[in-house]
């Protein structure tokens, strides 16, 4: 077996629970799920599809909260251990945007990534329809907004955790203005996080007989750099007789030309099976959105939305996931 190296900083306090002795899955769920419940703060109806990062020896995150008016908002949150979270009661108010784009309509499904010491937040931003909002924070108290990255309609904007050949690189999923019944992953380049171009196609759904990723796909947390390529955890959707079902899978992308897919998992990594994933605001949804990584050990703590209602946590070992993709690739 090839030794697989994970290129990431140490995170000795990563939240962790060993795999149960009777579990043979590549990912396993935290027994205390959900880690963030639907009514985490007074104003929330649901909390889901949220992202976290290590911060000042602890953890911080940006959380999607659907409030009591059922409007989609972004709130900051903090945790000592990555398991017990305190969310801010007031939503994030972004500063510094051009007046043309600074009116907040809605925000949902955020991702977080640290690049060159700065923490960037990406989210689905309302600007004449959904598009990719970009901003940053240094302290999780003050947030600054940049220009929207792409034209409407678009979702699932995810930055790579470092520049590639001098450029920032962004994954996205062009869409329509509704509950997109289609979706393919694309990649875009930028020298400055403002001007985006050199768009490349990455992956499409596998339109077979109702496989887990046959309807649409979208990027999850920021890609993880390994010696074998960028490990991308993504969601896939199948349209069943009972509606959409969201699951999580993984792919390996070329390190230097990440629009080129080295391998892609045919089976899912995780699919709705727990009660809190089956029942909720939108039944049968597992939506990977955030990840914590310990580079030396290869441990992964994966945060995901549960039935568009709460936030769950699963664990895995990144080298095992890479092997899972290589050994169970789409042929």
Average pLDDT over the chain, rounded to whole? Answer: 97
Residue 9 in domain: no
Please report the DSSP string for 181-205 in residue order.
S---EEEEEESSSSS-EEEEEEE--
Q: How many CA atoms lie within 13 A of 307 on its CB side?
A: 19
Please report the DSSP string for 24-41 in residue order.
--SSEE-TT--SB-TTSS
pLDDT grade for 1, boundaries at 50, 70 and 90: low
Residue 13 in domain: no
Residue 34 in domain: yes
Euclidean distance between CA atoms 138 and 146, whole angstroms: 14
Retrieve residue 31's tokens.
């027994």
Retrieve residue 280's tokens.
């909720």
Angle (CA) 144-51-25 rounded to 5° is: 165
Span 249-267, pLDDT tens digits: 999 999 999 999 999 999 9
Model-level pTM greater than 0.85? yes
Q: Residue 60's domain spans which residues? A: 28-327
Whether the CB-CB separation of 188 and 172 falls below 8 Å is answered with yes
Residue 21 in domain: no
CATH number, domain containing residue 155:
2.115.10.20
């Amino acid at each position: 077996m090839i030794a697989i190296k994970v290129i990431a900083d140490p995170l000795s306090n990563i939240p962790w629970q060993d795999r149960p002795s009777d579990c043979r899955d590549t990912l396993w769920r935290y027994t205390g799920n959900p880690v963030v419940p639907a009514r985490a703060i007074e104003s929330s109806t649901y909390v889901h599809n949220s992202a976290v990062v290590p911060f000042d020896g602890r953890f911080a995150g940006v959380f999607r909260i659907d409030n009591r008016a059922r409007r989609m908002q972004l709130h900051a949150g903090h945790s000592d251990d990555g398991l017990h979270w305190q969310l801010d009661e007031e939503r994030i108010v972004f500063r510094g945007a051009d007046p043309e784009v600074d009116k907040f309509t809605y925000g949902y499904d955020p991702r977080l990534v640290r690049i060159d010491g700065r923490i960037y937040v990406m989210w689905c931003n309302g600007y004449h329809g959904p598009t990719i909002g970009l901003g940053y924070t240094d302290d999780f108290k003050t947030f600054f907004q940049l220009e929207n990255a792409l034209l409407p309609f678009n979702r699932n904007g995810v930055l790579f955790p470092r520049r590639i050949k001098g450029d920032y690189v962004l994954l996205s999923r062009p869409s329509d203005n509704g509950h997109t019944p289609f979706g393919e992953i694309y990649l875009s380049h930028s020298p400055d996080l403002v001007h985006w171009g050199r768009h490349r196609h990455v992956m499409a759904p596998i339109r077979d007989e109702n496989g887990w990723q046959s309807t649409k796909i979208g990027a999850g947390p920021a890609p993880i750099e390994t010696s074998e390529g960028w490990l991308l955890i993504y969601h896939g959707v199948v349209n069943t007789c009972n509606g959409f079902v969201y699951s999580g899978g993984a792919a390996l992308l070329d390190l230097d030309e990440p629009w080129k897919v080295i391998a892609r998992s045919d089976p899912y990594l995780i699919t709705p099976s727990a009660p809190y994933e089956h029942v909720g605001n939108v039944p049968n949804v597992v939506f990977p959105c955030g990840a914590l990584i310990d580079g030396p050990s290869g441990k992964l703590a994966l945060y995901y939305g549960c039935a568009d209602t709460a936030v769950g946590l699963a664990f895995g070992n990144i080298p095992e996931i890479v092997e899972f993709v290589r050994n169970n690739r789409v042929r």
